[in-house]
Structure 1
């Protein structure tokens, strides 16, 4: 049976070098004999926009058992990563490709969908979220567009497919995805129909798992054009109960700009701390509500703690702060301090120096001190702590012999 498309489908061309990569070529060669297969979604969108791609997903008329058999016959490894939804992961030339059979929704409950397979490309497109994500590309760069997504891509317009309310009812996470895609790819005002629909349904966000909300929020805050979108999210209470607004968008923009000038992309946890005006209690509350990882929580809190000592006023103080906080927290603290208004002269030089710094090791140990007398216990800990303090105050210049001499002098009986 031959697959079908909408009579209103339009074609376009894309020149993408990765279409002829060995792994993708092997997948096309293996699957095409049992069903037409095209690249779909983000890789197509980003190729049109001239942006980098991170992975390649494909859609096919072939059903999963046909895909698996054809791939295995061609020597391609097959993993049943989403077989209940028609998705297999094929590994060719050490690259993983998700291959999904064309589908249409049978029922949805806002969090998950029941689907059935189809050979109709337009039905598969219509179940997707935004027009720019429902574009298909064959191995020759010939595109298929049944929803007007190509023009929307060129205009950088994020638009729901069909009825925006229905798309949101099908999957409540699409409310936040609407904002994320605008932050990442959109330009100009948000699509009015889409924005109005998100407003009507924003209470549905509370039905989502905190981890799914967190995942979307973390991706919104690192997007290139997130400032205006975040201001709207905070002002209109889209995340009340998780990340309550209004947000300090100026602090967020300042920190994001500083991070990019420091040669790195914005750090999600730090961006959220900035939105909350670097209020540690508010950040802790948001971290609890969104179920941040321990790593994300600790990074932001360490950065805010380090920022209180910024800027260092001398080279020894710089070294002392690096020793106390570590390189990552020191650099984070520098950037947070600058975003909060600290006057940090030659910030790029300080960042470079911090990245080149290597943490020194205290030249003496408890064993060394015990050889000079005394017994294990609290007193030994106090002796070590005192010598570490003296060593730090010397800008880490005192060697083992000097430190042991100081310990002996302190242990001499007082007259």
Structure 2
């Protein structure tokens, strides 16, 4: 028997919720990511609960124990039970009645086996009791030990229930898998056209998580081989992604987020539209692309140190060695201040001529490695303008 040892098992708030839900004999189990991650020794973010109690009974039992509940997803059998100021998502055992590739019609069940059968991957269909006893209805423990990502049951049937599971397959492979089930890969390739019916917001959400994995390069390469990458991100080229991950380890990334840099490396022409990026995210992609065309200190001056650092790592992945002392160079560029202002060229110049003169002076200042003083730049601007 496998037994889970994890700090969250000693959480009094979790214990209160589990005790309340099981007060009249219903099963109340920790499920999914918390069990998977604890067994792998990975951090646990949220603890979700699965129960044989119906949603209305979960609410009643919680309130009887002095806990507040919120019907956050009542149509899907989910309520949030709040204990000690923290929310725990509680979902009743379910079985699928009808699916259309995007959403499912479900019926409640009393059996953990039926609930497990509707989950996506075997490593996500693991349950644990309040004492830590692990329940494995679909054979997920051997897969988890081997880091083998396998769909529950027939891969085609699981994907047909929700085509987003194709992207979830590659995302979970990047985060938790070493071995991809060949039948699962074949099903992802065969059914990839179903992703056309999935909203770009949901696709973008999955792609962000995938690209944030410690090393997504193998999973993304398999996506490309399966014809999935070109479908969700047309024009993307993952060829240099392994080198980017290596550069990140070699040169360090600090607090810089991973997925924007890795997405920029893929160089998909319309990534913002394909993944429904926010305005700020799209602007970041444009800035990184612009920084790639500039000398790193100049990139830091124009777009900021963080954007320039992203571009340095991408250039390193593409075979260009970073300049010596590049961190210092980026700091120097980011702190540089162009010493000439429009008022320095007035009243001699005005209108478009003034703008052109400032641009020429700026170009000379950049060419001098930010060293030319204001008076020299003023003379350059005025003399160039006189020649024009």
CA shift at 1:137, angstroms?
Answer: 1.0
The answer as to whether partners of 1:242 and 1:289 remain within 8 angstroms in 2 is yes
Shift of the 324–117 alpha-carbon distance from structure 1 to 2, 3 Å rule, reads same
1:350 to 326, 334, 337: 326
Looking at structure 2, the residues matched to 274 and 72 of structure 1 have their Cα atoms a distance apart, in angstroms, of 51
Query: In the alignment, which of 110, 113, 118 is matched to residue 119 of structure 1?
Result: 110
- How far apart are the structure 1 equivalents of 2:360 and 2:34? 58
Aligned-pair CA distance for 1:259: 2.7
Cα deviations by residue, 1:99-138 (Å, 9 ceiling, x for unpaired): 1111111111111011121221111111111110011112
Decide whether the 8 Å contact of 1:269 with 1:297 is kept in 2.
no
- 2:9 paired with 1:24: no
1:87 aligns with 2:65: no
Indicate yes or no: 2:49 matched with 1:49.
Answer: no
Aligned to 2:228: 238
* CA deviations over 1:131-172 (Å, ceiling 9, x no partner): 100111122111111100111111111111112221111111
Structure 1 residue 339 corresponds to structure 2 residue 317: yes
Match of 1:99 in 2: 90
- d(CA) in 2 for partners of 1:197, 1:394: 55
Q: Report what 1:8 is aligned to.
A: none
Query: Do the aligned residues in 1 keep the contact of 2:188 with 2:226 (CA within 8 Å)?
Result: no
Q: Deviations over 1:233-279 (max 9, x none)?
A: 21332243432367342x1111222234413576223323323xx4x
Give the aligned CA root-mean-square deviation in angstroms.
3.4
Please, what TM-score do these two structures have when normalized by structure 1? Answer: 0.79
After superposing the two structures, state which structure 1 stretch, 152-161 or 172-181, moved more.
Answer: 172-181
Q: Is the 8 A contact 2:148 2:177 kept in 1?
A: yes
| Change beyond 3 A, Cα 1:217–1:181 | same
Query: Aligned partners of 1:79 and 1:396: how far apart in 2?
Result: 62
Identify the match of residue 160 of structure 2 among 153, 169, 186: 169
Extract unaligned runs of 5+ from structure 2: none
**Structure-2 residue corresponding to 1:308:** 293
What's the CA shift for 1:82?
Answer: 0.9
| Superposed counterparts of 1:155-166, under 5 Å | 155-166=146-157
- Alignment check: 8 A CA contact 1:237 1:245 kept: no
- Cα deviations by residue, 1:6-47 (Å, 9 ceiling, x for unpaired): xxxxx4201101221233233223323143211100111111
Could you say which residue in structure 2 is the equivalent of 1:315? Answer: none
Where does 1:96-245 land on structure 2 (aligned, <5 Å)?
96-188=87-179, 190-244=180-234
CA distance in 1, matches of 2:354, 2:80: 56
Distance 1:381 1:246 in 2: 41
Tell me the number of residue pairs that the alignment of Structure 1 and Structure 2 aligns: 378
Inter-partner Cα distance in structure 2 for 1:327 and 1:272:
19
- Aligned pair 1:257/2:241, yes or no? no
Query: What is the alpha-carbon distance in structure 2 between the residues aligned to residue 68 and residue 363 of structure 1?
Result: 66
Unaligned runs of 5+ in 1: 1-10, 313-317
Asked if structure 1 preserves the Cα contact closer than 8 Å seen for 2:31 and 2:125, the reply is yes
CA drift at 1:69: 3.0
